[in-house]
C-alpha cells in the first residue's frame, strides 16, 4: 500500500539542484518508488531523477505531496520527512524568499577613484576579494559547446558508426570524479550536481537514443540538452533556471569525450593571472579557470546564487556580477584592480589605483593578523566563544570536517563546544564500529591541537532514527525514546561510542556531553557505564585518559527547572535552546509555518534560562549555550546578560559574534535582560532590543585611534585610512560606507580649518562608539582649506546616533577653541608618541564648557 506525505514546501529556495541531489543520495539505497508532486503546477517526478524534480517548478510554500511505495516505503517516507524539517527556512544557507535578495549594486566608485578621475565600473559584489590583472575575455574554447568543424567522434568506427554510449558515459563520469577529487564542502556539493545529472534516467535514455539512433553525435547531443534547457528556462524558480549552467557544463563534457578538442580550454596564453570577463560561465568552466590561474571573474548575467558564483567563492576567486561586458570588451588587455568587496573595477594604469590597491590590502592584512575586533581598551571576551561542528555522514567528507575544525580556531574559536556525532549514524547503512568511530573522533581532537573538544553522544530519537535500527511505531516520537531513554534500550550503541571517545581522548582534551537528560538518575547511570567501559579498555590493554568531564544538555523544561538537583551528577551544562523552546512553547521546530516563531526571544524562555543559569553558577558549575539563539546576533545582548560562561556557534558566525561581543557592556546587557523578563511577549522583547543601548562605553580617544607618520598622500587617502583604522578598532560597522559619508561632506565643503589642520566629522548609525581619531601625516596634503595651507594634522570626529547630538557639537567646539591657539598646535605637532597626544587631547576636552554652542 502506498504511503503519502502532504506538506507545503519548506525549502527557502524551492526545490533546486542541491536539495534534489540530497534527496537522491538519501533514498538511493532504499527499495522504494517515490514520486514528488507539486499540487500548484500539477507536475510530478520520480525522486531519483534530479532533472524531473527540477521540472516540477516547486517554489517555497507550494502545496506538495510525496507518494511512496515498495518494501522500504516507511523508511523512505521518514527520511524525506526528516530532510524537509532540517532544510526548512532558517535552517540552511539558501536564500529566504521573504527577505531582500542578494547584494545590491555598488553605490558608486570609491572616493579615491573618484577624486583621481579614474575610469571604473560598478557591479554587484558576489565573492569577496582584492585582485589585480589584465582584462581578458573568456577564451574562445569556452564560447560555444559545439565541436570544431571536421572533428570526428573518437569512438566512431571506420563506417562512421555512432560512439559507444556506455563508454562515453563511463569516461564522462571518470572526468567528473577527477574534477571532484579533493573538493570539500559547498564546492563538492556543486560539482556533485553534475554527477547526479549524469545519473538521471530520463536524460540518459534521451542521450542513448540520440547517440545510437539519431546519428551525428554532436548535433544529437545538442538537441537533447537544448530541450532540457528550454524546459528549465520556463520555470518560475530562479534557482532552477540557473541550473541551465549545469546542463551546459554536462553538454560540453560529453562533447569533449565524443569529439576531443586540441589546445585545452584554460586561461593560458596570458602573462600573469588575468581578470576574466564573460556574460556567464558554467561551474566546470570555473573549475578549469581556477586550475589554470585567474585573478578574478567579472560576469554579466550570473546571480549571487548561481552555482558558478558559489563555486568561485568556495575556491577563493573574487567575483563581481552585473558587469557591463561591452564596456569591459572595449578595454580588453587593460590592467585593472578588482575590489569585489565593493563591486568595483578600476583602471590600474594610474598611480592612484596602485595606491588604492596598496591601502586596501594593508587594512585586510591587518584585519587577518589581528584577533577579530579585539580592542586595546576592551575587557576579556564574555562569554567565551566556541564553535559547533557536525561530524561527516560519509567517509569522503572527513577532510572537510577536519578542515572546518582548523578554520574555526583560525577564526577565533576558543574551543569546539559541540560536536554533533549522530550524523554519521543517520546516513550510514550500518552502525560504525568502535575503530571507525575512534579514528574519526581522534582526527577532530588532533585538529584541535590541544584545545578542548566537547562531543555530544548520539542524539537519537524523535526525527533522528538511523535506518539501520529497528523502529517501533511511536504516536509522538519527539516525546518518545530520545537521548538516555533510547540508550537504556540500545545500551551497546552507547557503550561502543563511549569506548571510542575515551580512546580519542588520548589525542587531546575532550569532554563528553549527554543529550535529552530527564532525571538525575540518567546521569548516574551514564557515568557508571562510562567507568565500566574505561575498565573494559584497560582489560584490553588500551590506554584511556584519566577522568574526563561528563556533562549534559539542558533541553527538557523539567530538567531546567530542577537544575540544582543535576549539579551533583553533571560536571558541566550546555543549554540546547532548539528543543527547549519547542517543548516550552508547544511548537514543532520542524513545522514549515510555525517554526519561525521559535526564533524569537520569548520572555518565558528567558525566565527559564535566567533561573537555571543563576542556580548553576551559584553551585560552581560551568554553563554554556549551543542552540540557535547563541548564533542569533539580534538577541546576543540577552545571551550575554544571562552570564553564560560560553556560547558555541556555527563556524560561519564566529567572526560576527566575536565582533558584537567585543562591543557589548556586561552591566547594560544584564539590565536589558532584567527588563526583557517583564515583557508580555516576544514582540515586546524585540522592541526593547531596538531601543535600549547595550554597547560598552569606550573612551572617546584611545591609542588605536592615533596614527603617526602616516604615508597618506591625498585627502581621499587620509579619509580612507582613518575610516579603516576605526573599523579595525571595532568602532564603526562599515568602513566603506563611513568613508563615502565623510567624502560626500568634503565634496560640499572642505573641513580644512586652516593652520594645517582638518577636522572631518560625521554622525551616523554606522558609528558604534563615538570617537576622536588623530592622524599626523608624513607629508602635508592639499585639503582645500580656507587659508589654502596644506594639512599635516587631521582630527576626525565620529559620533553614533545613540549619543546626544549636542555632545558632538560640544566636542567640536572644545577642539576648535584649542586649535586656534598656536601654542596648542605647536605642542600637538611636537608630541613624539601616541600617549602624549592622548593626554594633550584629553586636557583639551576636559576644559570648561564652551559658551554659545548652538
Higher pLDDT, 312 or 17: 312
For residue 545, what pLDDT is reported? 73
Res. 556: pLDDT tops 90: yes
Does pLDDT of 375 surpass 70? no
Predicted confidence (pLDDT) at residue 6 exceeds the cutoff of 60: yes
C-alpha cell at 183: 573538493
Q: Please give the torsion angle defined by the CA atoms of residues 121, 123, 126 and 132, in that order, rounded to the nearest 10 degrees.
A: 0
pLDDT of residue 466: 59
- Given a cut of 50, whether residue 94 has pLDDT beyond it is no
In this predicted model, what pLDDT tens digit does every residue of 24-54 receive, in sequence order?
878 888 889 999 999 999 999 998 888 888 8
pLDDT-derived band at 400, boundaries 50, 70, 90: low
Q: What is the pLDDT of residues 403-425, one digit of tens each?
A: 677 778 877 788 999 998 887 76
CATH class of 386-548: alpha beta
Give Cβ neighbours of residue 291 (< 8 Å, ≥ 6 apart).
Answer: 266
Question: Annotated catalytic, 761?
Answer: yes
Q: What is the pLDDT of residue 194?
A: 78
**Least confident segment among 317-326, 484-493, 597-606:** 597-606
Tally of CB atoms within 10 A around 181:
10
Topology of domain 703-845 in CATH is Mannitol-specific EII; Chain A (3.40.930)
Cα(655)–Cα(385) distance, rounded to whole angstroms?
10
> What is the topology classification, in CATH, of domain 111-141+266-369?
Glucose Oxidase; domain 1 (3.50.30)
pLDDT value of residue 323: 94
Residue-level pLDDT at 89: 41
Mean pLDDT of 189-203: 78
* pLDDT of the residue at 463: 54
Quote the percentage of the chain above a pLDDT of 90: 37
CA distance 667 to 674: 11
pLDDT (tens digit per residue) in 665-675? 888 899 999 99
**Residue 171's pLDDT is what?**
87
Look at residue 141 in the predicted model and tell me its pLDDT.
62
Name the CATH topology of 162-258: Enzyme I; Chain A, domain 2 (1.10.274)
Contact 772, 797 (CB under 8 A): yes
Q: Encode 381-417 in three state secondary structure.
A: CCCEEEEEEECCCCHHHHHHHHHHHHHHHHCCCCCEE
> Tell me, what's the pLDDT at 662?
77
pLDDT at 60 over 70: yes
Does residue 853 have a pLDDT over 50?
Answer: no
Residue boundaries of the structural domains of the chain: 3-86, 111-141+266-369, 162-258, 386-548, 703-845
Most confident listed range (203-212, 644-653, 703-712): 703-712
pLDDT at 683: 86
The listed range with the strongest mean pLDDT (231-240, 280-289, 302-311) is: 280-289
> Residue 100 pLDDT more than 60?
no
Per-residue pLDDT reduced to its tens digit, 209-222: 877 765 556 777 78
Chain segment 579-590, per-residue pLDDT in tens: 888 888 887 765
For residue 181, the SS3 value is coil
Tell me the pLDDT band of 824, cut-offs 50, 70 and 90. very high
Determine how many CB atoms are found less than 10 A away from the CB of residue 413. Answer: 25
Residue 86's alpha-carbon distances to 22, 78, 109, 463, in angstroms, are 12, 12, 42, 10
Q: Are the C-beta atoms of 673 and 638 separated by less than 8 Å?
A: yes
Q: pLDDT tens, 770-808?
A: 899 999 999 999 999 989 999 999 999 998 876 666 666
**Cell, residue 816:** 576648535
CA–CA dist 671, 611 (Å, integer) = 15
| Phi, psi (rounded to 5 degrees) for 608 | -65, -45
Average pLDDT (66-83) is 87
Q: What is the mean pLDDT of residues 465-482?
A: 66
What is the pLDDT averaged over residues 705-713?
93
> Cell 578598532 identifies what position?
729
Residues 773 and 718: beta-carbon distance below 8 Å: no
Give the pLDDT band of residue 852 (cuts 50, 70, 90).
very low
Best CA proximity match to 692, nearest among 703, 676, 713 = 676
Would you place residue 817 in the very low, low, confident or very high pLDDT band (cuts 50, 70, 90)? confident
Of the ranges 245-259, 613-627, 631-645, 804-818, which is most confident? 613-627
Is the pLDDT assigned to residue 591 strictly greater than 70?
no
What pLDDT is recorded for position 163? 64
Query: Residue 147: is its pLDDT beyond 60?
Result: no
pLDDT higher than 80, residue 184? no
β-bridge mates for residue 647, sequence order: 385, 625
Percent of the chain with pLDDT over 70: 80
Q: Which of 245, 761, 769, 808 is catalytic?
A: 761
Q: What is the DSSP letter of 464?
A: B
**C-alpha grid cell, residue 137:** 575575455
Q: What is the CA radius of gyration of the chain?
A: 31
Are 180 and 195 in contact, with CB atoms under 8 Å apart? yes
Q: What is the CATH number of domain 3-86?
A: 3.30.1340.10
Q: Is the peptide bond before 520 cis (omega within 30 degrees of 0)?
A: no
Average pLDDT of the residues in 228-255: 76
Give phi and psi for 465, each to the nearest 5. -120, 120
The count of other CB atoms within 10 Å of the CB of residue 62 is 20
Report d(CA 293, CA 444) in Å as an integer. Answer: 32
Least confident of 143-147, 307-311, 402-406, 705-709: 143-147
Mean pLDDT of the chain, nearest integer: 82
pLDDT tier at 155, thresholds 50, 70, 90: very low
Average pLDDT over residues 513-538: 95
Question: What value does the mean pLDDT take over residues 750-776?
Answer: 91
pLDDT at 502 over 80: yes
**Residue 53 parent element (H or E):** helix 50-54
pLDDT at 280: 87
188: pLDDT strictly greater than 90: no
Q: Is the pLDDT of residue 156 over 80?
A: no
* pLDDT at residue 429 in the model: 52
Q: Do the Cβ atoms of 320 and 126 come closer than 8 Å?
A: yes
- The DSSP string of 232-246 is HHT-S-HHHHTTHHH
Q: What is the pLDDT of residue 373?
A: 36
Interval 318-364: pLDDT, tens: 999 999 999 999 999 999 999 999 999 999 999 999 999 999 988 88
Secondary structure percentages of the chain, helix, strand, coil, to 5:
45, 15, 40
What is the widest separation between alpha-carbon atoms in the chain?
Answer: 101
Amino acid at each position: 500500500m502506498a504511503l503519502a506525505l502532504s506538506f507545503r514546501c519548506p525549502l527557502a529556495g524551492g526545490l533546486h539542484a542541491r536539495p534534489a541531489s540530497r534527496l537522491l543520495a538519501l533514498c538511493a539505497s532504499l527499495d522504494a518508488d517515490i514520486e514528488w508532486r507539486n499540487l500548484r503546477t500539477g507536475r510530478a517526478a520520480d525522486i531519483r531523477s534530479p532533472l524531473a524534480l527540477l521540472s516540477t517548478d516547486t517554489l517555497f510554500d507550494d502545496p506538495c505531496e510525496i507518494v511512496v511505495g515498495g518494501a522500504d516505503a516507511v523508511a523512505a517516507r521518514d527520511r524525506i520527512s526528516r530532510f524537509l524539517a532540517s532544510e526548512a527556512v532558517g535552517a540552511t544557507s539558501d536564500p529566504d524568499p521573504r527577505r531582500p535578495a542578494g547584494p545590491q549594486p555598488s553605490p558608486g566608485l570609491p572616493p579615491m577613484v573618484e577624486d583621481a578621475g579614474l575610469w571604473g565600473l560598478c557591479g554587484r559584489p558576489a565573492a569577496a576579494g582584492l585582485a589585480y590583472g589584465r582584462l581578458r575575455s573568456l577564451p574562445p574554447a569556452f564560447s560555444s559547446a559545439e565541436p570544431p568543424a571536421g572533428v570526428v567522434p573518437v569512438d566512431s568506427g571506420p563506417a562512421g558508426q555512432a560512439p559507444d554510449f556506455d563508454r562515453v558515459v563511463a569516461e564522462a563520469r571518470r572526468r567528473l570524479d577527477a574534477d571532484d577529487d579533493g573538493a570539500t564542502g559547498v564546492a563538492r556539493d556543486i560539482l556533485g550536481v553534475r554527477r547526479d545529472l549524469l545519473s538521471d534516467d530520463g536524460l540518459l535514455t534521451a542521450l542513448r537514443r540520440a547517440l545510437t539512433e539519431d546519428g551525428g553525435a554532436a548535433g544529437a547531443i545538442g538537441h537533447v540538452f537544448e530541450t532540457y534547457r528550454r524546459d528549465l528556462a520556463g520555470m518560475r524558480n530562479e534557482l532552477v533556471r540557473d541550473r541551465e549552467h549545469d546542463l551546459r557544463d554536462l553538454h560540453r563534457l560529453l562533447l569533449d569525450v565524443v569529439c576531443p578538442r586540441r589546445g585545452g580550454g584554460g586561461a593560458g596564453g596570458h602573462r600573469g593571472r588575468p581578470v576574466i570577463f564573460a556574460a556567464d560561465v558554467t561551474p566546470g568552466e570555473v573549475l578549469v579557470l581556477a586550475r589554470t590561474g585567474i585573478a578574478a571573474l567579472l560576469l554579466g548575467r550570473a546571480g549571487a546564487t548561481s552555482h558558478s558564483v558559489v563555486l568561485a567563492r568556495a575556491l577563493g576567486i573574487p567575483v563581481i556580477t552585473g558587469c557591463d561586458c561591452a564596456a569591459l570588451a572595449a578595454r580588453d588587455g587593460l590592467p585593472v584592480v578588482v575590489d569585489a568587496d565593493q563591486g568595483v573595477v578600476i583602471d590600474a594604469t594610474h598611480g592612484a589605483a596602485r595606491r588604492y590597491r596598496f591601502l586596501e590590502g594593508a587594512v585586510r592584512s591587518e584585519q587577518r593578523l589581528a584577533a577579530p575586533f579585539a580592542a586595546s581598551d576592551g575587557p576579556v571576551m564574555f562569554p567565551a566563544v566556541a564553535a559547533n561542528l557536525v561530524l561527516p555522514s560519509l567517509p569522503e567528507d572527513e577532510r572537510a570536517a577536519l578542515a572546518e575544525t582548523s578554520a574555526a580556531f583560525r577564526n577565533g574559536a576558543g574551543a569546539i563546544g559541540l560536536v554533533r556525532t549522530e550524523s554519521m549514524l543517520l546516513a550510514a547503512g550500518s552502525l560504525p564500529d568502535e575503530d571507525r568511530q575512534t579514528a574519526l573522533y581522534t582526527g577532530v581532537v588532533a585538529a584541535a591541537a590541544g584545545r578542548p573538544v566537547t562531543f555530544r553522544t548520539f542524539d537519537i530519537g524523535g526525527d533522528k532514527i538511523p535506518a539501520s535500527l529497528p523502529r517501533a511505531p511511536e504516536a509522538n516520537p519527539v516525546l518518545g525514546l530520545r537521548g538516555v531513554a533510547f540508550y537504556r534500550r540500545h545500551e551497546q550503541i552507547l557503550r561502543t561510542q563511549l569506548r571510542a571517545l575515551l580512546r580519542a581522548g588520548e589525542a587531546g582534551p575532550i569532554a563528553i556531553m549527554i543529550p535529552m537528560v530527564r532525571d538525575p538518575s540518567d546521569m548516574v547511570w551514564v557515568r557508571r557505564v562510562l567507568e565500566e567501559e574505561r575498565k573494559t579498555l584497560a582489560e584490553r590493554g588500551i590506554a584511556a585518559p584519566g577522568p574526563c568531564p561528563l556533562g549534559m544538555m539542558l533541553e527538557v523544561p523539567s530538567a531546567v527547572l530542577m537544575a540544582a538537583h543535576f549539579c551533583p551528577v553533571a560536571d558541566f551544562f550546555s543549554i540546547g535552546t532548539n528543543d527547549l523552546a519547542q517543548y516550552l512553547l508547544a511548537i514543532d521546530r520542524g513545522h514549515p509555518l510555525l517554526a519561525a516563531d521559535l526564533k524569537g526571544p520569548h520572555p518565558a524562555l528567558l525566565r527559564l534560562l535566567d533561573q537555571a543559569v543563576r542556580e548553576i553558577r551559584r553551585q560552581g558549575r560551568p554553563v554554556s549555550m549551543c542552540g540557535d539563539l547563541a548564533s542569533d546576533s539580534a538577541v546576543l545582548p540577552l545571551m550575554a546578560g544571562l552570564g553564560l560562561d560560553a556560547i558555541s556557534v556555527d563556524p560561519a558566525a564566529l567572526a560576527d559574534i566575536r565582533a558584537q561581543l567585543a562591543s557589548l557592556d556586561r552591566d547594560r546587557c544584564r539590565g536589558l535582560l532584567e527588563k526583557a523578563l517583564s515583557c508580555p511577549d516576544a514582540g515586546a522583547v524585540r522592541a526593547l532590543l531596538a531601543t535600549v543601548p547595550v554597547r560598552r562605553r569606550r573612551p572617546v580617544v584611545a591609542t588605536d585611534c592615533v596614527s603617526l607618520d602616516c604615508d597618506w598622500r591625498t585627502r581621499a587617502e587620509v579619509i580612507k585610512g582613518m575610516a579603516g583604522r576605526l573599523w579595525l578598532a571595532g568602532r564603526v560597522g562599515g568602513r566603506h560606507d563611513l568613508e563615502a559619508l565623510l567624502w560626500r561632506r568634503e565634496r560640499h565643503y572642505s573641513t580644512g580649518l586652516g593652520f594645517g589642520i582638518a577636522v572631518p566629522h560625521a554622525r551616523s548609525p554606522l558609528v558604534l562608539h563615538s570617537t576622536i581619531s588623530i592622524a599626523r601625516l608624513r607629508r602635508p596634503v592639499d585639503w582645500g582649506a580656507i587659508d589654502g595651507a596644506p594639512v599635516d594634522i587631521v582630527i576626525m570626529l565620529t559620533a553614533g546616533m545613540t549619543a546626544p547630538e549636542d555632545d558632538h557639537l560640544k566636542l567640536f567646539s572644545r577642539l576648535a577653541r584649542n586649535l586656534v591657539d598656536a601654542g596648542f598646535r605647536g605642542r600637538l605637532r611636537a608630541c613624539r608618541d601616541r600617549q602624549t597626544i592622548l593626554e594633550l587631547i584629553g586636557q583639551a576636552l576636559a576644559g570648561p564648557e564652551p559658551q554659545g554652542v548652538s
